[in-house]
Structure 1
Amino acid sequence: MQDKNKKSFERLGSTRKQIRFEDDLLKKIDEDRTKTNQAFSEWVKDACERKLKT
């Protein structure tokens, strides 16, 4: 996707994106992911995959 702009230390096959979350949403995410014992990025990726399947 953006491989031509990647630095030599960045991973191939993935791209870093910055995103801003509303405080209330972030709190809800953190509460839910403590139940699932997932890392934040893992939780967000899972939520995105679920959204794309619907």
Structure 2
Amino acid sequence: YRRGITADYEVVCDDSVYRVKRQRDLNGARRFLLLECTELGAEEQMGGRSGADSIFTR
């Protein structure tokens, strides 16, 4: 579970980029995080390892 994730965040998975719509604590125990996202499209490679270090970008 992570606090502070807002709709300003994006998730990158493989070649797809998703905008976070909302997040919540899945089981109320602050162990799992549920993200509801909207797909934005393919990730643009701007050199280097774009998004490779983390699934969270801002």
TM exceeding 0.5: no
Tell which has more relative contact order, 1 or 2 (C-alpha 8 A, sep 6+).
2
Rg (Cα) greater in structure: 1
Higher strand content, 1 or 2: 2
